[in-house]
Amino acid sequence: MQPFKVLRLFLLALTGVSCATANMPTANQDIAAQLEIWGVANVTELAMAKNGTHPNYHQKNVVQRCKNFNLEASKKGDPNDAKKTINRLFARAECKGLYGAPNGFRCSYIDLSLCFTLTGDTQIVKRQLGRAFESCDAKNCVVDTSTVGKCYGCKHPAQPNATDTWAKFDLDGVLDSDFGFLSCYGRGGFECPDEGDPMPY
């Protein structure tokens, strides 16, 4: 054992501090980590962020706070086996709310299956963890006007032979902006990769 390690253990024994306790983060370090995670400046703002009263948290008016909305499709699974393929539709936008830069924008994205469901009469309506777009070909989903999207040919499992039609859904009033991150029902999205890097989906 190296001499400095022996000395450290001896000093810890004299002070009654265990090795495990010595390596534990202090209360100040824990608070600093939470401030960074939530993107706030102090413990007052941290409490406001956690209870949803912070001015940059759960902002419903995404039309005013966000720009450049886009819908992007992804298919995960086996391209040769439709039953093993999951359709996913993502919303991407740039939203205000960054701490320290109130007029700055953050690019983020969110899986809309967290936010909508597909009804038996082929309507797309808001619902937490609704998994709406698993029954659609997400490549047939486009932005219609502003924050309104629409998908063609969604098939609810209960109505597999339904006539193909357009189903519309409005992101405004469903999506929140939490410190610039898109979210819904308290489930946050993710920051976009650096410019030029591919999206992870």
Look at 163 and 113; give whichever has higher pLDDT.
Answer: 113
Among 105, 138, 142, 126, which residue's Cα sits nearest to residue 184? 126
Rounded to an integer, the average pLDDT of 162-170 is 86
In the chain, where the domains are located: 3-38, 62-191
**Full DSSP string of 94-115:** EEEEETTEEEEEEEEEEEGGGT
**Full DSSP string of 145-185:** ETTEEEEES---TT-TTPPP-EEEEE-BTTBEEETTEEEET
Rounded to an integer, the average pLDDT of 4-9 is 46
Cβ atoms of residues 95 and 65 within 8 Å: yes
Residue 146: what pLDDT? Answer: 77
* Domain 62-191: which CATH number of 3.40.630.40, 3.10.25.10, 2.30.60.10, 3.30.70.370: 2.30.60.10
In sequence order, what are the residues at sequence separation of 6 or more whose Cβ sits closer than 8 angstroms to the Cβ of residue 180? 56, 95, 96, 97, 98, 104, 105, 106, 108
Query: Above 50 in pLDDT, residue 186?
Result: yes
Residue 14: what pLDDT? Answer: 47
Distance CA 161, CA 24 (A): 60
Rounded to an integer, the average pLDDT of 5-33 is 54
Distance CA 124, CA 150 (A): 9
pLDDT band at 19 (very low <50, low <70, confident <90, very high): very low
Cα of 71 vs its chain's centroid, Å: 15
In sequence order, what are the residues at sequence separation of 6 or more whose Cβ sits closer than 8 angstroms to the Cβ of residue 186? 58
Distance CA 76, CA 67 (A): 27
Reported as half-sphere exposure (CB side, CA atoms, 13 A), residue 38 has a value of: 24
**What digits encode the pLDDT tens for the residues 42-53?**
888 777 766 656
